[in-house]
Structures are given as C-alpha cells and as structure tokens.
Structure 1
C-alpha cells in the first residue's frame, strides 16, 4: 500500500505488510494481549522472563518484530512458571526448534534450513506421515534457545519461520494457523526401555 502518491517529485512512503499469528482473529478486541518488542530485549533469557511475567499476570504475550518489508505480530503460548497446570502434548503434534535443529516426533532431527519442508509436513501433512501432526489445529512448534542466545539470532530464526509459513499459508487460502510455544527448558527426550529378548526354549 502506498501513501502520498502524487504526479510531482513528492517522496512515496511504502508501508510494511502486517502479519498476525496464529490468525488475525486472535487479535480482535482482546485486552489481555501484551506486546514485547523483540528489538528491546537482549537475549532469550530476558525474553522468557518477560513472557513469563506477562503469563503469570493472566495476560497473553505478543512478540513484535520486523523485516525490511514486513511487520510481524506473534501471539506466543507461554505457561506461567508458578502454575501447577501440566499440559500433555502428543509427540507427533509438536516439532521443537532448538539451536539450529528441528526435532520431529522425539526421534528425527533435521537442520533448521529444512524448515520449509518440515512446516509443510507438520501443518498440512499431505502424505499422512505418522511422524507428523494429523490435525492442522493441533500442530504446534516449541521454541527454545540458550539464555544467552541473542535477539538478532532469535529475530533471524523467527523471520525464517514466519516467512516460510506465509508462503505455505498463501497457497492454502490463508486458512492455516501458526502456533508457537516458548519453552523454559531444552527438549527432553523420552527414553523408551528396550524390551528384553524373548525367552529361548
């Protein structure tokens, strides 16, 4: 969208495109939304503390950041650290992003650069693969980094995530949600016990 368009030499101001996640409907008349400007924080440790304080006050943290042409508004899920609520997520409904790795269904690890394919499988799962979510609305991304992981690197990763999602969403009628949960702790693998060998007769 352009403003101040004239036939003379007046400077044209271009406005960034605005994006909202999970969906724009999550932002309609909700007084519990509390903004966190990514450029104003230092690292992931500070981000998680601010988001936790917002969540413990009964509010919803919205992470705001920008690229050259786009402004992003990301409503992130964050459990209050003082809460006794335990949320149980099915493994295949969750992918975890940690460092530069994407962890799928507890066992599969892929590089962050493979995010485009992973998001398509995780959200749409066109081939109905058992390692990915079977339900668009249950597909969730856990995001965690070391406490000293800087804001510029966080921003770079979030722009990558939202950009790849936007392309996928555009091809599917802008009907998909992008759900991201900020994690306090690194991914913990569930070690399954190895069954004993069958008794020999």
Structure 2
C-alpha cells in the first residue's frame, strides 16, 4: 500500500523537476533586449515589424506612412546573435513638428550632416554622436541641454535592408560605448534634410 502511495508522488516530483529545468533553459536562451522608444501616447499600441522580413529601407518608410499613429506606433525589431533592439521611430502624423536644425543629426550610410551644413564622413560617427547627445563643449552646432535630440536615418532605397541594419547597429554600438543616457529619438526619413528658416 505504501509503495502505491509513494509512486505517484515520485512521478510528480520527477515531472516537476523536468518542467522547471526546461523553463530555466528557455529563460536562459532568451536574448536580452534594449529599447529605443520615443514620445508616445499610453493608449497607443505597438505594431511590431522584424527588420529581417523587409527588403529595403523604403519599406520602413511605407510602413510608417500607412500606420495611423493616432492609434498605433511602429516598433522595428533589430535582431542580432546576442541581443534584440526595439526601435520606435518618431512618427509625425499630421502634427506640425517644431525643431531647430541643430537638434537633428542626419546620418546616411556614408556621411553625417550636422546643423544642416556641416558634412562629416561616417567614420566620425562616434565623435558626432558624443557631441550631439552630450555636447560636452557647449558647441552651438549641437543641441543645448534643454533642447531635444533627434537622430535622422536615411538609407538609399536601392540598397537592401542589410545596409540599414548595419547602420543602425553601428549607431547603437557607439551610443552604448559612449554610455549615453541622454534622451533622444530616432527618425527614419526618405526625404533627407529639409531646410527651415530659423528666427
């Protein structure tokens, strides 16, 4: 009688241990995530897009244009072997977005533009990001401490999505290496630099 009582308990314990191990393994195999989120309304939901499923940067722009950002926001997932990056770019909708030229740094695969006119090669990225996001020397070409900071990304639509992913990874890697905690937003644009007359 005792043997029949202990057998179900033994089976239960062995089954429980097996489940716990599989859960631990599953959790252990999950990749860490890093979020780059911009201004958002709490009620608005994210619609997620895996960058690996897109063919080029132009598709990112089309997705942004078709999403009703009064209800939803696009969240682009950039996956690597070790980490997942969730990027919610700034979506303009119908609102007029007020900014100064120095608040946006424009980055493409081969060049960087600061304050609309200053051109730099892409290998200056780390220095430019440090100046744009921290502005340690109080340079008037970069945002002041109370101003917003935007990183505009533009990739030629003739290039495949790998070019866009590589550029994003390069930017994120530099930001992480610089240990930048400053708030900023990504922008995905296809129109490049827009001239604004500042007062």
Whether contact under 8 Å (1:66, 1:72) holds in the other structure is yes
| C-alpha contact 2:57 2:157 (8 A) present in aligned 1 | yes
* Larger helix percent: 2
1:185 aligned partner? 191
Q: Say whether the 8 Å CA contact 2:44–2:71 is kept in structure 1.
A: no
Q: 1:16 aligned to 2:31?
A: yes
Contact 2:130 2:178 (8 Å CA) reproduced? yes
User: Are residues 28 and 190 of structure 1, via their aligned partners in 2, closer, same or farther at CA, if it must alter by over 3 Å?
Assistant: closer
Kept in 2: contact 1:122–1:132 (CA 8 A): yes
Aligned 1:159-170 pairs, distance under 5 A: 159-169=169-179
The structure having more radius of gyration, on CA atoms, is: 2
Unaligned residue ranges in structure 2 (runs of 5+)? 1-19
User: What is the aligned length?
Assistant: 176
For 1:45 and 1:183, how far apart are their aligned partners in 2?
9
- For residue 92 of structure 1, give the secondary structure of its aligned residue in structure 2: helix
Q: State the match for 2:13 in structure 1.
A: none
Cα 1:40–1:57 change in 2 (3 A) is: farther
**Alpha-carbon contact 1:98-1:186 (below 8 Å) kept:** no
1:113-152 map, 5 Å: 113-135=123-145, 138-152=148-162
Unaligned runs of 5+ residues in structure 1 are: 193-201
1:68-79 correspondence runs (5 A): 68-79=81-92
Q: Secondary structure at the match of 2:91?
A: coil
Q: Secondary structure of the residue that 2:158 maps to in structure 1? A: coil
